[in-house]
Structure 1
Amino acid sequence: MFIMRNISIMKTFIRRRHIYIDHYDLSSTGISLNEYHQRRHSLINLIRNYIKTEQKQSSYNFTICLPSSTRLFMGPDVAYFPFKQQSDFYYLTGCMQPDALLLLNGNDETFSTNLFLSSCPMNSINDYERWYGPTITDKDKICQIFGIDSVHSIDKLNSFKIPSSSILFYNSQITDDTSTNKKNLIPFLKNFSSSIVCNQLNHFLHSLRSIKSLTEQNLIRHACQLVSKAFIKTIKNCKKNIQNEYLIHARFQYECTKLENTSMAFYPVVAANGRSNILHYQNNNQPINSDDLIMLDGGCLYKQYASDVTRFWPINGRFSSSQQQLYEILLTVQKDLIKYLNSGDKFITRGKLNILTDQYMIKYLREEFILSRTIDDDHAKRIINYLCPTSVSHHLGLDVHDCESISFSEKLESGNVITIEPGLYIPLDCTDVPSIYRGFATRLEDDVLLTDQGCEVLTSMCPKEINDLYRLLDERDNSDID
């Protein structure tokens, strides 16, 4: 009996060492295996060029280290859902497995792709599958799915053989990560203490990720179409007597997630009664009055690619004269920015878009006598910085605020997807504008693809012209609930 029991314990221990992935079909990403290969090759070429030009080395070894996200829990046995994979890791692999790590080892001629996976967290794969569903444990099969060279247990990371004097590339943020990878990562990174280290891998990856392939453009375009439909249905079902912001939130979430296996790209903002003056308002649970304005900022995630739209409408069906005046200014500014993207300027940056936004805002607010014409330009600029404190644009893709390492001064390229979202936020205590306009706050946001010819507004089917909004609002009583 003693011997049998120890054999059983030994078998349990051995079973715990099995690595796995949850059953996965790479075709569900919408990206071909060949494109993932191309992405890894493009990164390798950037790294090689950097080593040759910046490090002045013609013969070298390098290691690229990129961990996945970990699965986070809101309480015992209750995970946050859906799982959001680390975007750089996903971009290179298409793998949605948590607590994994990608290691690319190479030199000036060749490189290899190694995927490290966590062991099964339960006593056996059979136990795990009973609770969580099918898995794949065959290493050759995993290599075939992701088009990689080898698969290893992440517990073996620190003993994995790295070429001598290898230059390490990683993201500095990973050392602050609380994931289960950290216990393996920190000792592994110390192996490079005497080597050249570049801890800004994201700069290389974001330069690649910011220029979307045709496949990525189509995925984002579809995400924008889906969220546009969700906005239309939400506005049409936003009744005049709706009582609370959370009802709009619930309707929008329903409309987003019922379509083609989409999920929310981020927690939406549903702000009534001037609460949109709180720039990151997310309570979405306050009462709605019959004459309130509603701002909805939301997006859906389609095959991991995000959309991001903001619209604004009067709950009673019509803007007041002052509300319409400010809304039309905002709409005109946005149209001017999109027109500028189509102007043929060969060096457009997000920084320049911010400057133009301020100029347009000052011009139109002065023309409407909302901003005094007697104040000088410097004073007007200070007021606009106060009333328009947010940037007018960010990149969009696998993250809602995509490719954050790309600076505002970097030239926008064909294939970039960005938002155009001028905002105007006038606090109740602002004395720089007449009292009738105080408390007004909103933004208009669309998603735009930069092309060789100019730009394509991917969210163009989402209504924003006043007459189009009124038409939707007039249809509310006759609209279907489904």
Structure 2
Amino acid sequence: MFANRSHCIIKSFIRRQHFYIDSFDLSTTGIPRHEFHQRRQSLVNLIRNYIKTEQKQSCKDFTICLPSSSRLFMGPDVTYFPFKQQSDFYYLTGCMQPDAVLLLNGNDETFSTNLFLSRNTTHSIEEYERWFGPTICDREKICEIFSIDEVYPIDQLLTFRFPPSSILFYNAQFINDKTINKQNLVPFLKRFSSSIVCNQLTSFLHTLRSIKSLTEQNLIRQACELVSKAFVNTMKNCKKDTQNEYFIKARFQYECEILGDVSMAFYPVVAASGRSNVIHYQKNNQKINKDDLIMLDGGCLFKQYASDVTRLWPINGRFSPVQRQLYEILLTVQKHLLDYLNLGDNLVTREKLNSLADRYMIKYLREESIFPRAIEDYHAKNLIHVLCPTGVSHHLGLDVHDCDLYSASEQLQPGNIITIEPGLYIPFNCKDVPPMYRGFASRIEDDVLLTKQGFEVLSSMCPKEIDDLHRILDDRDKSHMQ
């Protein structure tokens, strides 16, 4: 009996060295297992239809190859944190393990899901767990966790068998992606003949990812509620004598992260004194003057799903007449864009939203005499492209700028979650507007779920009406006087 027990222990130990997943990562997903299986089935259905309609073939074998992200290091043994999983890989698996590969192999009738995981390179699993925490190494348990058919160590990718005529679906961009480990991936891809390769897998995945399930909608709704609370608390705790942008950035990050198991969706932008005229401003370390407007663009990740909100407020507690005038134009334009989503237009696109934003912006800049009322249309259109150089919308989901291959000319559908973010950026040297307006730059951004009935502003808890902002700032000043 003792000999058999010893043999079982040795056999179990060898098996455990093949591959592993970090058990801490299993708490990151808010998506039920069956939904990941449904996503894989939907992708396979798209691939099958593509083969029939574009390749004019039936009963054709196919292989879908999708790598995970690799863990990036800022020093010899210090990783960047938090780890950001490759979004398409996560969408199909819910797995947060680095240096993994997903293969879906199938034909017209069936398909299988195979996950290839990194080996444990330490002397023992006990040593690994001592440094990095508990793991799961049991093959059957891993298959159950991710609702997949089989799991293998990563180096078996090179000997994995598939039909020689199988069509490969992958993304060519992975070859140059520094966040992906290509040690096993590239040799595997070279096993396929170039005549049977389709390198646009992402276009299929982004079609699926653009429509958010009810579970995804709820996760993004929670991310928006969390970031809205963080915005309000940041305004309340940044006094009128705050001297530097970095204090507001630090306060916002703090307010996000104390609300729960969240991380930053992106490095926040805190711009005062017209520095938001730098579209990708991220220094967040400049002096704040007593009459400055603060633009904060920030978002948080909740169970891998992002929020993205931008608000503007006067550090001293009150908008000046000029600041109020321009802010109200931005807010009015945003409300017009939201109203348009409610009109039942069957052909709403982000391209149309851009065009509408330009039209409304020109209208109100004329009416407020910021543009000369007699300005010719062609001149106004040319000028608005200088003052409003950014798009007014992007998709939101696992990435802040989600589904980037989903064209702006594509029709928007119920289940899409997009931002609505008109911006106005007037350079200090812009001689086409009166001097008092030069240097103003900002946007107002909300996250919006499109529904069959119209839309839902998921970030509605974050105040943007001037009276509401003034009320928060008045409460701030009262509390700091006590």
Q: TM-score w.r.t. structure 1 length?
A: 0.95
How many residue pairs align between the two structures?
471
Residue 94 (1) aligns with residue 94 (2):
yes
The secondary structure found in structure 1 opposite 2:178 is: coil
Q: Which residue of 1 aligns with 2:64?
A: 64
Residues 245-297 of structure 1 deviation map (CA, whole Å, 9 limit, x = unaligned): 11101110011011121111100000111111111100111111111110000
Q: Which residue of 1 aligns with 2:121?
A: 121
The secondary structure found in structure 1 opposite 2:38 is: helix
Instruction: Compute the displacement of 1:24 (Å).
Output: 4.6
Counterparts of 1:163 and 1:24 in 2: how far apart (Å)?
37
Instruction: Compute the displacement of 1:376 (Å).
Output: 1.4
The secondary structure found in structure 2 opposite 1:456 is: strand
Residue 209 (1) aligns with residue 209 (2):
yes
Provide closer, same or farther for how the CA distance between residues 52 and 141 of structure 1 changes in structure 2, counting only shifts above 3 A.
same
The secondary structure found in structure 1 opposite 2:183 is: helix
Is the CA contact 1:15–1:124 (under 8 Å) kept in the aligned structure 2? no
Is the CA contact 1:15–1:125 (under 8 Å) kept in the aligned structure 2? no
Q: Which residue of 1 aligns with 2:7?
A: none
Residue 403 (1) aligns with residue 400 (2):
no
Residue 453 (1) aligns with residue 453 (2):
yes
Q: Which residue of 1 aligns with 2:218?
A: 218
Q: Which residue of 2 aligns with 1:382?
A: 382
Counterparts of 2:207 and 2:320 in 1: how far apart (Å)?
45
Residues 34-92 of structure 1 deviation map (CA, whole Å, 9 limit, x = unaligned): 11111010000000001000100012000000000110011121111111101000000
Counterparts of 2:197 and 2:480 in 1: how far apart (Å)?
59
Counterparts of 1:480 and 1:53 in 2: how far apart (Å)?
67
Residues 292-315 of structure 1 deviation map (CA, whole Å, 9 limit, x = unaligned): 110000001101000000000111
Q: Which residue of 1 aligns with 2:46?
A: 46
Instruction: Compute the displacement of 1:195 (Å).
Output: 3.9
Counterparts of 1:71 and 1:25 in 2: how far apart (Å)?
14
Instruction: Compute the displacement of 1:14 (Å).
Output: 6.6
Counterparts of 1:25 and 1:257 in 2: how far apart (Å)?
18
Counterparts of 1:479 and 1:74 in 2: how far apart (Å)?
42
Structure 2 unmatched runs, 5+: 1-10
Q: Report matched runs for 1:42-191 at 5 Å.
A: 42-178=42-178, 181-191=181-191
State the AA in 1 paired with 2:121.
Answer: P
Is the CA contact 2:59–2:109 (under 8 Å) kept in the aligned structure 1? no
Counterparts of 1:33 and 1:18 in 2: how far apart (Å)?
24
Is the CA contact 2:171–2:199 (under 8 Å) kept in the aligned structure 1? yes
Is the CA contact 1:245–1:285 (under 8 Å) kept in the aligned structure 2? yes
Q: Which residue of 1 aligns with 2:467?
A: 467
Counterparts of 2:49 and 2:193 in 1: how far apart (Å)?
23
Residue 430 (1) aligns with residue 430 (2):
yes
Identity %: 74
Counterparts of 1:386 and 1:92 in 2: how far apart (Å)?
41
Instruction: Compute the displacement of 1:17 (Å).
Output: 5.1
Q: Which residue of 2 aligns with 1:272?
A: 272
Counterparts of 1:197 and 1:414 in 2: how far apart (Å)?
33
State the AA in 2 paired with 1:383.
Answer: L
Is the CA contact 1:26–1:146 (under 8 Å) kept in the aligned structure 2? no
Counterparts of 1:16 and 1:343 in 2: how far apart (Å)?
58
Q: Which residue of 1 aligns with 2:301?
A: 301
Counterparts of 2:14 and 2:434 in 1: how far apart (Å)?
74
Residue 230 (1) aligns with residue 230 (2):
yes
Instruction: Compute the displacement of 1:158 (Å).
Output: 1.3
Counterparts of 2:210 and 2:110 in 1: how far apart (Å)?
26
Is the CA contact 2:52–2:58 (under 8 Å) kept in the aligned structure 1? yes
Provide closer, same or farther for how the CA distance between residues 85 and 229 of structure 1 changes in structure 2, counting only shifts above 3 A.
same
Provide closer, same or farther for how the CA distance between residues 112 and 144 of structure 1 changes in structure 2, counting only shifts above 3 A.
same
Instruction: Compute the displacement of 1:320 (Å).
Output: 1.1
State the AA in 2 paired with 1:162.
Answer: F
Instruction: Compute the displacement of 1:360 (Å).
Output: 0.4
Counterparts of 2:265 and 2:194 in 1: how far apart (Å)?
41
Residues 388-430 of structure 1 deviation map (CA, whole Å, 9 limit, x = unaligned): 0000000000000000000010000000000000000001000
Residues 417-446 of structure 1 deviation map (CA, whole Å, 9 limit, x = unaligned): 000000000010001100000000000000
Counterparts of 1:157 and 1:407 in 2: how far apart (Å)?
34
Instruction: Compute the displacement of 1:375 (Å).
Output: 2.1
State the AA in 2 paired with 1:172.
Answer: A
Q: Which residue of 2 aligns with 1:260?
A: 260
Structure 1 unmatched runs, 5+: 1-10
Counterparts of 1:466 and 1:209 in 2: how far apart (Å)?
36
State the AA in 1 paired with 2:398.
Answer: L
Instruction: Compute the displacement of 1:218 (Å).
Output: 0.5
Counterparts of 1:392 and 1:294 in 2: how far apart (Å)?
20
Q: Which residue of 2 aligns with 1:5?
A: none
Counterparts of 1:217 and 1:179 in 2: how far apart (Å)?
28
State the AA in 2 paired with 1:132.
Answer: F
Is the CA contact 2:419–2:445 (under 8 Å) kept in the aligned structure 1? yes
Residues 175-209 of structure 1 deviation map (CA, whole Å, 9 limit, x = unaligned): 11235630111111111124411111011101111
Instruction: Compute the displacement of 1:121 (Å).
Output: 3.0
Instruction: Compute the displacement of 1:122 (Å).
Output: 1.8
Counterparts of 2:130 and 2:36 in 1: how far apart (Å)?
32
Residues 107-152 of structure 1 deviation map (CA, whole Å, 9 limit, x = unaligned): 0000000000111132221111000000011111100100001111
Counterparts of 1:208 and 1:234 in 2: how far apart (Å)?
36
Q: Which residue of 2 aligns with 1:321?
A: 321
Counterparts of 1:277 and 1:206 in 2: how far apart (Å)?
31
State the AA in 2 paired with 1:125.
Answer: I
Provide closer, same or farther for how the CA distance between residues 180 and 457 of structure 1 changes in structure 2, counting only shifts above 3 A.
closer
The secondary structure found in structure 2 opposite 1:183 is: coil
Counterparts of 1:179 and 1:264 in 2: how far apart (Å)?
19
Q: Which residue of 2 aligns with 1:31?
A: 31
Counterparts of 2:274 and 2:178 in 1: how far apart (Å)?
38
